[in-house]
Amino acid sequence: MHHTPANRYTHRPCTATTLPFTMDEALRQRLARVKARISAAARSAGRDPAQIQLIAVAKTRSADEVRALAAAGVGDFGENYLQEALPKQDALTDLPLCWHFIGALQSNKTRQVAERFDWVHSVDRVRTLERLSRQRPENAAPLNVCLQVNLDDEAGKAGLPPAEVMAAAKAALALSGIRLRGLMALPAPRADHEAQREPFRRLAELLAELAAMLPAANLDVLSMGMSDDLEAAVAEGATHLRIGSALFGPRPKAGR
């Protein structure tokens, strides 16, 4: 499998220009702003920005946009929909990218996810863990997985109830072909920074409980935080940020 290039957080300043504003330049400027936000949030929390992994969420975005961000130093990309991701992956096989599946995972899609991705952040069923384990190619590195937690008990939202996370974690650790890395959450939106921190704090506490009960697992990932709340997530210990619109700009409207 491909691995993320080193030094992805090396600052690459945007170059002032009087030429027409290009897609590549817009992406580079947004990337610089996101990196600055991450660095500022990390400093405020007494953390090293290099410990925080940026995942560019490429849902609805083109292979050309992914290639442009990769040229600017981004190596990790997240996809929500398999049917959208596969053509992009095929168009970008010349690049050493690390692919993260972050969307709802249907049982009939697990084989291709197990074969084509490096990470899955959105596992919320033991059955899905078992399928990914069986379907991961034997010659591939273990598939990194995170358990998605429904922190706010939202009806219709994917994720394990917190009370069921321990049992799912134990099931994951008993399987070959996958490596349990930590937890993921997508909390309901909150109005301000302090309110945003509360669910992220609960996820961090849950991971700490798991790590204490399962020390041999070396759980080390908190996948939490998006464009609107990354500062709150960093303050509570996020290791992986899933950033879309702040990098790519507003999503195209449906039907366009």
Instruction: Give the CA angle between residues 212, 49, 187 to the nearest 5°.
Output: 60
Please give the tally of structural domains in the chain: 1
Has residue 11 been placed in a domain? no
pLDDT at 174 over 60: yes
Has residue 57 been placed in a domain? yes
For 139-156, write each residue's pLDDT tens digit.
Answer: 999 999 999 999 988 777
**Percent residues over pLDDT 70 in the chain:** 90
* pLDDT (0 to 100) of residue 8: 39
Has residue 16 been placed in a domain? no
The arithmetic mean of pLDDT across residues 4-10, rounded, is: 41
- Its domain, for residue 191, covers 48-248
Q: Which residues of 4-17 are buried (b: 16+ CB within 10 A; e: fewer)?
A: eeeebbeeeeeeee
CA distances from 57 to 10, 65, 218, 231 (A): 20, 11, 26, 17
Q: If pLDDT is split at 50, 70 and 90, which confidence band does 121 have?
A: very high
pLDDT at 252 over 80: no
pLDDT at 14 over 50: no
Has residue 82 been placed in a domain? yes
* pLDDT (0 to 100) of residue 22: 83
d(CA 254, CA 70): 26
**Percent residues over pLDDT 90 in the chain:** 84
Has residue 103 been placed in a domain? yes
Q: Which residues of 192-205 are buried (b: 16+ CB within 10 A; e: fewer)?
A: eeeebbebbebbbe
The arithmetic mean of pLDDT across residues 16-33, rounded, is: 77
* pLDDT (0 to 100) of residue 16: 40
pLDDT at 136 over 50: yes
Strands (E), 69-192: 76-79, 98-101, 119-123, 143-149, 178-185
Strands (E), the chain: 53-57, 76-79, 98-101, 119-123, 143-149, 178-185, 221-223, 240-243
Has residue 189 been placed in a domain? yes
Has residue 149 been placed in a domain? yes
